[in-house]
């Protein structure tokens, strides 16, 4: 049980930091009219456990905040994941 929690924790830290950074990179690229990170990729990182990082990044960088599917979708994924985590680990 001890190593599994460490592996899961390290994974969640990595995926959330990655989601946050991807939002920042995409915002920077948008300002410079450069190649962009696809919306599918941003949602994929959220679905893979990085919903907190992508949601925080979205608000921190003021990126994708005019797209309803990001404003509603990212927090919805976060709430579903938090609920699943609480249910699975009975916190």
| Cβ-count burial 44-54 (b if 16+ within 10 Å, e if not) | ebbeebbbbbb
Q: At 39, phi and psi to the nearest 5?
A: -65, -35
Instruction: Determine the Cα–Cα distance for residues 71 and 90; give it in Å rounded to an integer.
Output: 28
Please name which of 54, 73, 71 lies closest in space to residue 16, comparing C-alpha atoms.
54
Q: What is this structure's pTM?
A: 0.90
Write down the domain spans for the chain.
13-89
Instruction: Determine the Cα–Cα distance for residues 58 and 73; give it in Å rounded to an integer.
Output: 12
Query: CA geometry: angle at 31 spanning 27 and 18, to 5°?
Result: 20
User: In a structure prediction context, what are the per-residue pLDDT tens digits for the chain, which is 91 residues long?
Assistant: 568 788 989 999 999 999 999 999 999 999 999 999 999 999 999 999 999 999 999 999 999 999 999 999 999 999 999 999 899 888 6
């Amino acid at each position: 049980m001890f190593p599994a929690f460490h592996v899961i924790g390290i994974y969640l830290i990595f995926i959330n930091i990655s989601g946050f950074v991807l939002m920042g990179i995409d915002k920077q690229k948008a300002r410079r009219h450069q190649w962009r990170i696809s919306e599918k990729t941003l949602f994929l990182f959220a679905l893979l456990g990085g919903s907190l990082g992508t949601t925080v990044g979205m608000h921190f960088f003021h990126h994708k905040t005019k797209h309803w599917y990001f404003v509603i979708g990212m927090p919805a994924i976060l709430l579903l994941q938090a609920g699943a985590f609480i249910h699975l680990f009975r916190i």
